[in-house]
A and B are shown apart, each in its own frame.
Chain A
Amino acid sequence: MARNIKKTVLHVCMILLSLLCLFPFLLMIVNATRTGNEIMTGFSLIPGQALQDNWETVSGYFNLFRGLGNSLLIAVCSTALTAYFSSLTAFALAVYKFKGRNVIFTGIIIFMMIPAQLGLLGFYDLVNALGLVDNYIPLIIPAIASPATVFFLRQFLMSTLSPALLEAARIDGAGEIRIFHKIVLPIMSPGIATMSIGAFIASWNSYLMPMILLTTPNKFTLPVMIASMNASQDIVANQGAIYLAVAVSVIPILIAFAFLSRYIISGISAGGVKE
């Protein structure tokens, strides 16, 4: 009986919490179907009639699917680079004892503290000198160096990887690279997945860098497209269209999260039992 009450209370709390979380999304989706004037003058949960109009307005400015494609390309490539190279670095820092290891590690921690915006103008000058303005390379390649991910994965490896595993592999004749790919990477995968979600979302939502580096409208990522659209028309008339564009841009994040989060949770609990 007491157990039932506890359960009920828990469920009610969770339902309330999830309503609180989902409400803004619902509002966004409903607003995507209403006209700018309706949105400005009041709010409602009943979908409006303007979905098609809004879609036409959006399409009149940009090809939203192109923006989706651009954003996806950049986000997937940079996430993959972050994940692979960070785990490689973390592996070296966690396992090998070499001179200067602590210096490097301290350096990484220091760089974690510096906000990316600080180097913005210098970075632009560098990119400009290399002739890479209006190109995706400067948006993707720097993802290789991701101090926060390295830090997290190093701590993760220190706690989960037992040296005995590596010794066993070495005795069986595996090279270091092979050990990394066959043994360490699978052990690290829950940690990688966690950091990948963060990296993917950061890249997907990143606005300032692409806004400054990209100049051809066709190459714009979604956030830049939406901001540009926001500026391009009288804001009242355009609001429904902007909600629609934002709704479209959030969908891939929701999908990515839905898949990856299940994977992390199972990974973390599996690791916990093994200890």
Chain B
Amino acid sequence: MKLKRVMSMALAGLMVLSLAACGGKADNAGTDTAEGDSGTGKLVVWTLSEDLKTFAEHYMETNKDVEIETVIIPPADYPTKISAALRGKAATPDIIVGEPQMLPDFEEAGYFEDLSAAPYNADENKDKLVDYVWKAGQDADGKVRAISYQATPGGIYYRRDIAQAVYGTDDPAAIGEKFKDYATIEQTAKEVRDKGYRIFSDTGSLRWFAISDPWVVDGKINISDEKMEYMDTAVDMYQNKLVAFAPEWSAAWFASMAGPIPMNAEWQELDEVDANAEQTEVFAYALPSWGSLTIRDNAKDMAGNYGVCAGPTSYFGGGTFVGISAYSKNKTQAWDFLKYVTLNEETSKWWAESSKGDIVSMKSVLEEYKDKENETYGNQKTYQFFYDEAQKIDYSTVTKYDDQLKVFFGAAIESIQKGEKTKEQAMDEFYAKAQSAYPELTK
């Protein structure tokens, strides 16, 4: 009993002490903020990845009177954080960013400053950048809201040795022919399978190409014949075991870039897979330009043994678009930084070098690097390839519904692949999901 009393007194004492302590600390925190807000020459950047932090450090080397504070927020939480702050018209942040699929919502909510208006007149720079990047940063009325320093055109990365073994050639143009449409891809998959390889790690690789016509036309969900072909091909390839069943970003997927992997690895750790399982090698990967870096970092001994060719459609994926918050109090300075990041040739060159292979959006720089050979890809001129692909991207087929509809469509495909639903049932569910997410769309 006595012990208990002592303990409780100690606990109560601790509480009082910590209360006092936290009171003092909290006051300090309060004054800190006040100073930060009144200070001039400080830009606050809220971003999604480390890129802009590197840009900011580079910018501060030459602009010593400016202080840039970069906050990196995980993509899943970014929209929540931005809308919480900007609904309340907060003066921080000054610079906000977005991936292409986030932009329409931010634009409609009025978070982005109109860069087409004076004093920015961003439209003067239109011809400096790759066309699709410029269009992706425009809102529904064609006003520039955000600009990107990078372009993310996609391609198909393939193993040159397998191409040689199966087709006797590893020429990108010839291999590109093998991926020119869904029927050919399935044919190629069978030819590759007969030699003991698998065309893709997973049928998910096909999803990138499903943008050759818009997902929504005049408020109506548009499931064209081509999209049904995509569905049928994905189901066929799954059911005939034409892929290795190693999903993107799984351990087996990474391992497949450097050598053989067991079939049906799914999400298992490699040493959990039955050692006697059939082994296979993956022929090709469909990924946007940033995927070329993932392959480079995981290829190990296979480096130099890759090539890159075009798929059935020219597509793009991701990319960080930078804009100015409509409620920023440092707009002049923010515009200066934005210009420096996205519209400055020197910076663009520096970024292409220091990021070791990121594809920039500035045409003149892409032009300059187009003869540069890439060792990982058998000395292929990858800048030239991505530059050509970037120019072929048709941004007019992109709608703000794309990402979500693709997810629903992918789920429909998966349920057919696994035999859980018939095609009709799966499509009914697709429409039901799409319409409950976007009531304004008609079937």
Chain A: residues with CB nearer than 8 A to chain B?
A: 37, 40-43, 73, 76-77, 80-81, 83-84, 120-121, 124-125, 128-129, 132-137, 140, 181, 185-186, 189, 192-193, 208, 211-212, 215-217, 219, 227-234, 236-237, 263, 267, 270
**Is there contact, CB below 8 Å, between B50 and A211?**
no
| CB-contacts of B32-84 with A (<8 A) | 32-33, 36, 44, 46, 48-50, 53, 69-75, 77, 80-81, 83-84
Chain B residues lying within 8 Å of A83, measured Cβ to Cβ, are 15
A239 CB, min distance to chain B CBs, angstroms: 11
Show 5 residue pairs from A and B whose CB-CB distance is below 8 angstroms, ordered by the A residue. A43-B271, A73-B21, A140-B22, A216-B36, A219-B29
Contacts A40-B251, A137-B30, A140-B22 given; indicate if A125 touches B87 (C-beta within 8 A).
yes
Q: Contact flags (1/0) for B12-23 with A, using CB distance below 8 Å?
A: 101100110110
**Is there contact, CB below 8 Å, between A76 and B92?**
no
| Chain B, Cβ-Cβ closest to A220 | B71
| CB-contacts of B246-291 with A (<8 A) | 251, 254-255, 269-271
The reply on B165 being an interface residue by CB < 8 A is no
| CB-contacts of B82-132 with A (<8 A) | 83-85, 87-88, 90, 92-93
Chain A residues lying within 8 Å of B297, measured Cβ to Cβ, are 234, 236-237
A191 CB, min distance to chain B CBs, angstroms: 12
Chain B residues lying within 8 Å of A186, measured Cβ to Cβ, are 4-5, 8-9
The reply on B174 being an interface residue by CB < 8 A is no
With a 10 A CB-CB cut-off, give which of A83, A136, A186, A229 has the most chain B CB atoms.
Answer: A186
The reply on B411 being an interface residue by CB < 8 A is no
Contacts A137-B26, A230-B74, A231-B72 given; indicate if A41 touches B8 (C-beta within 8 A).
no
Contact of A81 among B11, B19, B92, B270 (CB under 8 A): B19
The reply on B7 being an interface residue by CB < 8 A is yes
The list of the 8 closest CB pairs from A to B, nearest first, reads A77-B22, A186-B8, A128-B88, A231-B74, A80-B15, A232-B50, A232-B72, A189-B8
**Is there contact, CB below 8 Å, between B29 and A137?**
yes
Contacts A215-B71, A228-B71 given; indicate if A189 touches B48 (C-beta within 8 A).
no
Contacts A77-B18, A217-B71, A236-B254 given; indicate if A189 touches B80 (C-beta within 8 A).
no
Q: Contact flags (1/0) for B352-370 with A, using CB distance below 8 Å?
A: 0000000000000000000
**Is there contact, CB below 8 Å, between B12 and A185?**
yes
Q: Report whether over half of chain A's contact residues are helix, strand or loop; otherwise say mixed.
A: helix
B332 CB, min distance to chain A CBs, angstroms: 21
| Chain B, Cβ-Cβ closest to A123 | B84
A116 CB, min distance to chain B CBs, angstroms: 14
Contacts A77-B18, A120-B84 given; indicate if A189 touches B4 (C-beta within 8 A).
yes
Q: Report whether over half of chain B's contact residues are helix, strand or loop; otherwise say mixed.
A: helix
- Given contacts A42-B269, A137-B30, 5 further A-B pairs with CB under 8 A are A80-B15, A128-B90, A215-B92, A216-B33, A236-B254
A106 CB, min distance to chain B CBs, angstroms: 29
**Is there contact, CB below 8 Å, between B72 and A135?**
no
**Is there contact, CB below 8 Å, between B254 and A40?**
yes
Chain A residues lying within 8 Å of B269, measured Cβ to Cβ, are 42-43
Contact of A124 among B25, B49, B88, B298 (CB under 8 A): B88
Chain B residues lying within 8 Å of A43, measured Cβ to Cβ, are 269, 271
Chain B residues lying within 8 Å of A193, measured Cβ to Cβ, are 11
| Chain B, Cβ-Cβ closest to A237 | B297
Chain B residues lying within 8 Å of A234, measured Cβ to Cβ, are 293-294, 297
**Is there contact, CB below 8 Å, between A232 and B53?**
yes
Chain B residues lying within 8 Å of A77, measured Cβ to Cβ, are 18-19, 21-22
Chain A residues lying within 8 Å of B50, measured Cβ to Cβ, are 232-233
In angstroms, Cα B49 to Cα A227, docked, is 11
**Is there contact, CB below 8 Å, between B72 and A228?**
yes
**Is there contact, CB below 8 Å, between B81 and A211?**
yes
Chain B residues lying within 8 Å of A140, measured Cβ to Cβ, are 22, 26
**Is there contact, CB below 8 Å, between B4 and A231?**
no
**Is there contact, CB below 8 Å, between A135 and B33?**
yes
Contact of A231 among B7, B48, B294 (CB under 8 A): B48
**Is there contact, CB below 8 Å, between A228 and B74?**
yes
| Chain B, Cβ-Cβ closest to A127 | B88
In angstroms, Cα B49 to Cα A216, docked, is 16
Chain B residues lying within 8 Å of A120, measured Cβ to Cβ, are 84
With a 10 A CB-CB cut-off, give which of A41, A42, A129 has the most chain B CB atoms.
Answer: A41
| Chain B, Cβ-Cβ closest to A263 | B7
| Chain B, Cβ-Cβ closest to A137 | B26
**Is there contact, CB below 8 Å, between A216 and B22?**
no
| Chain B, Cβ-Cβ closest to A229 | B72
Chain A residues lying within 8 Å of B87, measured Cβ to Cβ, are 121, 124-125
In angstroms, Cα B36 to Cα A78, docked, is 26
